[in-house]
Amino acid sequence: MTSPGMFVIALAGLGLGVWVLAKIGRALASMAELLTATVVVFVGLWWACKVVFWLFSQVVIHWRTSLTVIVVYLWCVWVGWIWLVVNLVGLALILGVWRLLDVTSFDQWCGRPLRSWWLRWAVYHLKLPGWLHACGLSVRDAALPVEVTVNLVGRRKASRATARQSGVQVPKVLGVRSGPSWDEVRVQLVPGQKPEDFDDAARALASARNVARCQVRELKPNVVSIDFQRRDQLAALVHSPALPEGQSAVDLRKVWAGRTEYGHDWRVPLLGSGAHCLTAGASGAGKNSVMWCPLVAAAPAIRSGLVRMSGIDPKGMELAYGRGIFSRYAVSGKDALEVLDGLVEEMESRKREFAGRVRTIPLSTDYPLELLEFDEIGALTKYTDRKTREQIVERVALLNTQGRALNISLRGYVQEPTKDTVPVRELFTRRVCLRVTSKTHVGMVLGDGAYERGAWANRIGESEAGVGFVWGEGIREPLRIRAGWVSDETVKALEQYVTNGGVARPSFGGEGVAA
């Protein structure tokens, strides 16, 4: 039986314990408050530093916008907003007059920067991430947990992440450059992506942007340019240059041949690297423009004897219209062999003359550029007897593989660009694909993946003669071009100009004739 004394002692011990625990609790609470205050202060300072650093980085990165805002603010403080409005209206009037007087210089110095700035922030910065995600060009971290919703009947619906949800990465817009007809949007790839992914989605991106064409160019291993065509610069007919009055210098490595989709001159080499050119296109696609326009531009060199022309024309129609400019000319397979044998013989002669002395022979009237125009090359490399066909293919291959350093160039034209029709098509260092009848023909001419990179040559309209895509040395992406149109009168004028009014040109095999 517990005595009253023990009960009192127990109560006193219990009270003492409660008092001690209370003291400890207060001490712990004070420490917790101190730690909490410390954490709050440090976290607040950390976030404040991050905000300041982010603001500073945005000011530095977007320095043009920041400088504009500062100038506008200081102007309003020191001068007043009324004068700001007056000056802006005056500046707008000056720019409007400038554009009316000279739209080219206005667009180069003012229009493009303003348009690029506006499109970056008003269009691509806001909408491009959504387009990229919708086209399958975003990357999601598979390690993140999947959110699952269970309803009353036990059916599960997994939530789908959008481009703006956490865990989804989309390529970052690095810059925008807007030209007269194209917007070039530079984006940085997300780890795990490759430029070919964007090639495959080019058509979907064009639909998302609501434009006719989209082309992807690789700038760096992790940076691509997504180019959107706002309008077609090649809709209007491109005319060939006029024949010069007298003699003038011609750069045979950059001969004018038409216009590009970027509004620049399209120049082709007739001499040196990339001079061997194969042009493919359906009937009426404009192969004659690709053929004749560079010859019109190079007319002074042909007239002076720096360029000696040879022609093989199985149809006997296209080159025959200006046959006076050709020193060698052939229609039949037998005559074509004579022309090719003459070029091969000239090539071997130059080898013996310059071997061991120079790597590329100098251009002169004694050793001119031997330029062969081979129209409808498939007619003689497939649709002829086997023996003649094999001999022609062999000589074309020799000229393609050895002719560049010896100033011998070959330009061929074909309707059906299959391997059976043109067995040596890979030996042509530059290729042009005009309107073709099949999607597969694009890859045959321009290489695998050309269609996915925007070379939609099978979609060129019948009214767009001379429009096509070119692929050559140093060009990964097909370039859309339109060759200069050459009228029948211009061809006859070229013949008259080159032959000095009809003076007979020498004949080397085949049916060489006087003008």
pLDDT tens-digit map of 435-493:
998 889 998 998 888 887 778 898 888 889 999 998 765 566 778 899 999 999 999 99
Provide the pLDDT for residue 143: 47
- Return the beta strands (E) in 54-193 as ranges: 139-140, 148-150, 156-158, 168-169, 172-178, 182-188
User: Helix, strand, coil shares of the chain as percentages rounded to 5?
Assistant: 45, 20, 35
At 77 the pLDDT is: 82
The first and second tokens of residue 470, run together, are 């070119």
What pLDDT was estimated at residue 27?
83
Tokens of 388: 């003649």
Q: How do residues 12-43 score in pLDDT, each as one tens digit? A: 777 777 788 888 888 888 888 888 888 888 88
Alpha-carbon span 282 to 441, nearest angstrom: 10
Q: Does 162 score more than 60 pLDDT? A: no
At 142 the pLDDT is: 59
Strand partners, 175: 186
- What percent of the chain is predicted at pLDDT more than 70? 90
Min mean pLDDT across 98-102, 194-198, 228-232, 292-296 is at 98-102
Single out the residue of 148, 212, 223, 143 nearest to residue 182, CA to CA. Answer: 212
CA distance 368 to 263: 33
Q: What is the dihedral of CA 97, 103, 106, 108, to 10 degrees?
A: 180
Tens digits of residue pLDDT in 344-388: 999 999 998 888 788 888 888 899 999 999 998 888 887 788 888
pTM score, whole prediction: 0.70
Which whole number is the average pLDDT over 163-185?
80
